[in-house]
Amino acid sequence: MTESEWRPRLADLSWADVREGLKETDIVVVPVGAIEQHGPHLPLGTDSFNIEAVAEKAARLERVFVAPTLVYGVSDNHMAFSGTVTLRPRTLIDLVLDVAGSLHEHGFRRILLLNGHSGNDSAIGVAAQELRSALRGAVIAISSLAAFVYDGYVPRSGIVYHADEGETAHSLAVVPELVRMDRAANEVTAPFLSYYRRYAAEDGEMTRLVSYGLPSTDALSTSGIMGDASAATAGAGRRMHEVAVSGLRRILGDLKRTPATGDRGS
């Protein structure tokens, strides 16, 4: 494929296209998202849409492949809200193992598991450990949208959490037709603020010392919004998106310099 012809999406390619592309790169990005509530103003697929958009643009620019997004994740804390779908952690682990194992069998030796939903962190970490043991010689890398999408971003509300100013802004850049700003609200309840300040904020009292898991969202918010979604702007979202793409490109550049050789146990 020439530079102008590079198509990163595996789902759009024939087996012959993939075999030809593997002559140029053995890197594939596997985005992992979620189907869960994001307030009354954002679609259930927010995490999947946003991570996929970042992955596809970066993959096209870096001339690597991107697998179809794994759209379901671990979202049990949002199950009080209609439409949310959750997987058991072991189910997500097995799904990642099977997908990555299939890709490895076809010749992909450097696999980046790119997470778009924090509830998936533990399951993806376990899957990566198992893959590193099973696929000797392969490089299994993990990153997340949260690692770079907020670089340089300071929310006016001062809160970065869920269905808030940041996620709403990014969605305005990625899927503006699915965002209902007329429903966006500022919801910061006393129970949420207490939890956030103690366990979730960067400088929270107990943030780095202990984890009790995520509380049920409906105990913290009536709408599913935790932050000020009404403060979001499309301009801020576009800047966030470009920052995220640049961050992922840096990671892919590093992955290109990481050889898929040797005995790489977990």
Token couple for 88: 């058991």
* Predicted confidence pLDDT, tens digits, the chain (266 residues): 554 679 999 999 999 999 999 999 999 999 999 999 999 999 999 999 999 999 999 999 999 999 999 999 999 999 999 999 999 999 999 999 999 999 999 999 999 999 999 999 999 999 999 999 999 889 999 999 999 999 988 888 888 999 999 999 999 999 999 999 999 999 999 999 999 999 998 889 899 899 898 899 999 999 999 999 999 999 999 999 999 999 999 999 999 999 987 444 43
**In a domain? residue 265:** no
**In a domain? residue 137:** yes
**In a domain? residue 131:** yes
**In a domain? residue 12:** yes
In the prediction, which pLDDT does 23 show?
Answer: 97
> pLDDT tens digits for 17-32?
999 999 999 999 999 9
**In a domain? residue 261:** no
Long-range contacts of 57-62 (CB under 8 A, 24+ apart): 57/245, 58/29, 58/245, 58/248, 58/249, 58/252, 59/8, 59/29, 59/252, 60/6, 60/7, 60/8, 61/245, 61/249, 62/27, 62/249, 62/252, 62/253, 62/256
**In a domain? residue 47:** yes
Beta-ladder partners of 40: none
**b/e code 36-55 from CB counts within 10 Å (16+ = b):** bbbbbbbbbbbbbbbbbbbb
* Domain span holding position 45: 3-256
**In a domain? residue 266:** no
* Rg (the chain; Cα; Å): 19
- Domains identified in the chain, total number: 1
Cβ neighbours of residue 237 under 8 Å, at least 6 residues apart?
Answer: 168, 169, 170, 171, 172, 173, 174
Q: Which helix (H) or strand (E) covers residue 110, if one does?
A: strand 110-115
Q: Work out whether the CA dihedral 81, 84, 87, 92 comes out positive or negative.
A: negative
**In a domain? residue 107:** yes
Q: What is the CATH number of the domain that holds 240?
A: 3.40.50.10310
